[in-house]
Amino acid sequence: MHAGVPSDAMRVWATLLPMKVKFFAWLLGRGRLNTRAYLHHRNIRALEDSWCVHCPGVLETDVHIFVGCHKAHVVWARLGISMHCDLVQRPWDIGVGVTLPDVLRVDFFLLLLWHLWKAKNAMIFDQLNLPPREVLNRVALDLDAWTRRYKKHRLELQVWRDWLATCNPPPSSTLPS
Q: Which is nearer to Zn ion, 55 or 140 (CB)?
A: 55
- In whole angstroms, the minimum distance from the beta carbon of 98 to Zn ion comes to 25
At 95, the amino acid letter reads G
> How many Cα atoms are found within 13 Å in the side-chain-facing hemisphere of 129?
6
Rounded to the nearest whole angstrom, what is the least distance from the CB of residue 33 to Zn ion in the complex? 15
Sign of the CA dihedral with 22 first, then 166, 97, and 63 last:
positive
Q: Write down the least CB distance from residue 69 to Zn ion, Å.
A: 3
The answer to the question of residue 136 lying near Zn ion (CB under 5 A) is no
Q: Cβ closer to Zn ion: 59 or 110? A: 59
Is 69 a binder of Zn ion (CB under 5 A)?
yes
Q: Is 45 a residue that touches Zn ion (CB under 5 A)?
A: no
The answer to whether 8 touches 15, Cβ cutoff 8 Å, is: no
Amino acid at 129: N
Is the CB of residue 120 less than 8 Å from the CB of residue 72? Answer: no
Question: Shortest distance, CB of residue 170 to Zn ion, whole angstroms?
Answer: 27
Closest of 113, 111, 120, 93 to residue 149, by C-alpha: 111
Distance CA 117, CA 107 (A): 15
Told to check if 55 binds Zn ion by CB under 5 A, we report yes
Partners of 51 in the β-ladder? 59
The smaller minimum CB distance to Zn ion, of residues 105 and 120, is found at 120
By CB under 5 A, residue 72 contacts Zn ion: no
Nearest distance from C-beta of residue 8 to Zn ion, angstroms:
27
Burial of 61-81, coded b for 16+ CB within 10 Å and e otherwise, reads bbbbbbbbbebbeebbeebeb
**Among residues 54 and 153, whose Cβ is nearest to Zn ion?**
54
**Which segment (54-62, 74-82, 121-129, 143-151) binds Zn ion by CB under 5 A?**
54-62
Give yes or no for residue 59 binding Zn ion (CB under 5 A). Answer: no
Contact between 157 and Zn ion per CB under 5 A:
no
- Binding residues for Zn ion (CB under 5 A): 52, 54-55, 69
